[in-house]
């Protein structure tokens, strides 16, 4: 079977110094000179251990042998089952590692039995297994690796065990059927793009005993509730609690249907790309408390080609803000800017249309003087035009 690695992965490998220097948490299983075949499997031998290097069978329900020629099968190598017609696979308890892209694009794979002996998964191990509805990872697993379950379109729920400490980049990205996630107490490192593109994901729960993160109404915050870390892509609206001072980078990125957010006046920092790729947000109203705004945080959408993200301003996007960070951001990025009104909402509809817009936004569509701003803020609340 001819093997190919996507250009982005190849670029990562080159940056890491070639195939001889793989990033931490990935597997580099070299095929030994003693490669051989056993039934439907090709394998290599290293001392007293065997690595399955390629599957040649017709698919269906497959049981991987625990021994070949009296030697233990301890690893499943890179690409070993990639693109094959498996419907289920049972991995023996002699296996400790599963290599890069080992089961990638096994579109018929519905179930996987993974023993407690497995401690390590390579990148993209189950990427594109579009029929996989559920998978149980053993307590021996500490890391859910980069793109491990990316584009597994049938996954509906995920429970991350207490043993897992790290969920890496895009681990579950593009899982369009995923509706709920439960994260155990052990996770201390969570990639902000771990669930990007999960358009039906509305609820992420974090174990109350987790010391790094917590969840409120399905949204992940830092344990002390001062930073909003990650908002599920399926949310249409969210009220951020008072006391939150920062919205982390990428926190709302790729929230395709997000229509409104209530930003408290305690927020001072908005990280890079925080609201990038949120096409339903047609305007943002910032409180005067905001002091720092990261690159591409507001009003941008992206397209990826040549293995790079390219940024474009959303059509007709409007930023309502006060003099200071918001105004500077708008001018730098050539975004339509109008005076802020002290409201703390982010809306999906253009306030100039009058649809779902707050009172302040409607008034500020036609006025700009400080006197009128003060009236709208409360001195003359009956003034609406």
- Note the pLDDT tens digit of each residue in 286-305: 999 999 999 999 999 999 88
Q: What percent of the chain has pLDDT over 70?
A: 79
pLDDT higher than threshold 50 for residue 3 = no
**In terms of C-beta density within 10 A (0-12 exposed, 13-18 middle, 19 or more buried), how is residue 327 classed?**
middle
Residue 239 is assigned to a structural domain of this protein: no
- The stretch 347-373 carries a mean pLDDT of 36
Residue 240 is assigned to a structural domain of this protein: no
pLDDT of the residue at 366: 32
Domain interval for residue 46: 24-141
pLDDT higher than threshold 60 for residue 185 = yes
Residue 43 is assigned to a structural domain of this protein: yes
The CATH number of the domain where 50 resides is what?
3.80.10.10
93 vs 73, 74, 181, CA distance in Å? 9, 9, 27
In terms of pLDDT, which residue wins out, 113 or 121?
121
Residue 331 is assigned to a structural domain of this protein: no
pLDDT band at 354 (very low <50, low <70, confident <90, very high): very low
pLDDT band at 34 (very low <50, low <70, confident <90, very high): low
Q: What percent of the chain has pLDDT over 90?
A: 64
pLDDT of the residue at 282: 86
Residue 107 is assigned to a structural domain of this protein: yes
pTM for this one? 0.77
Residue 70 is assigned to a structural domain of this protein: yes
pLDDT of the residue at 14: 35
For the chain, what is the domain count?
1
Residue 86 is assigned to a structural domain of this protein: yes
């Amino acid at each position: 079977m001819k093997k190919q690695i996507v250009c982005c992965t190849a670029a990562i490998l080159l940056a890491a110094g070639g195939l001889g220097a793989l990033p931490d948490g990935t597997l580099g299983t070299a095929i030994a000179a003693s490669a051989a075949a056993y039934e439907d499997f090709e394998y290599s031998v290293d001392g007293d251990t065997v690595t399955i290097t390629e599957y040649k069978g017709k698919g269906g329900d497959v049981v991987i042998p625990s021994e070949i020629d009296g030697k233990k099968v301890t690893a499943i190598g890179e690409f070993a089952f990639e693109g094959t017609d498996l419907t289920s696979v049972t991995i023996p308890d002699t296996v400790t590692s599963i290599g890069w892209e080992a089961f990638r694009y096994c579109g018929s794979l519905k179930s996987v039995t993974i023993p407690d002996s497995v401690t390590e998964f390579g990148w993209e191990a189950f990427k594109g297994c579009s029929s996989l509805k559920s998978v149980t990872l053993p307590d021996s697993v500490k890391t859910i690796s980069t793109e491990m379950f990316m584009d597994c379109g049938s996954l509906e729920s995920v429970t991350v065990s207490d043993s897992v400490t790290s969920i890496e980049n895009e681990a579950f990205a593009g899982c369009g059927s995923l509706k709920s996630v439960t994260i155990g107490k052990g996770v201390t490192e969570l990639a902000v793009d771990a669930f990007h593109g999960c358009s039906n994901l509305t609820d992420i729960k974090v174990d109350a005993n987790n010391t790094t993160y917590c969840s409120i109404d399905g949204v992940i915050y830092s344990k002390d509730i001062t930073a909003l870390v990650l908002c599920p892509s399926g949310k249409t609206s969210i009220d951020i609690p008072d006391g939150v001072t920062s919205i982390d980078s990428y926190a709302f990125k790729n929230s395709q249907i997000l229509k409104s957010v209530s930003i408290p006046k305690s927020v001072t920092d908005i990280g890079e790309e925080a609201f990038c790729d949120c096409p339903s947000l047609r305007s943002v109203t910032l409180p005067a408390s905001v002091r720092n705004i990261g690159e591409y945080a507001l009003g941008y959408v992206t397209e990826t080609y040549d293995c790079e993200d390219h940024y474009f301003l959303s059509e007709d996007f409007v930023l309502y803000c006060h003099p200071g960070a918001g105004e500077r951001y708008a001018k730098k990025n050539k975004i339509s800017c109008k005076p802020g009104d002290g409201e703390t909402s982010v809306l999906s509809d253009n306030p100039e249309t009058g649809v779902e817009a707050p009172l302040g936004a409607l008034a500020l569509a036609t006025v700009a003087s400080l006197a009128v701003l003060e009236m709208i803020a409360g001195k003359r609340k009956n003034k609406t035009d």
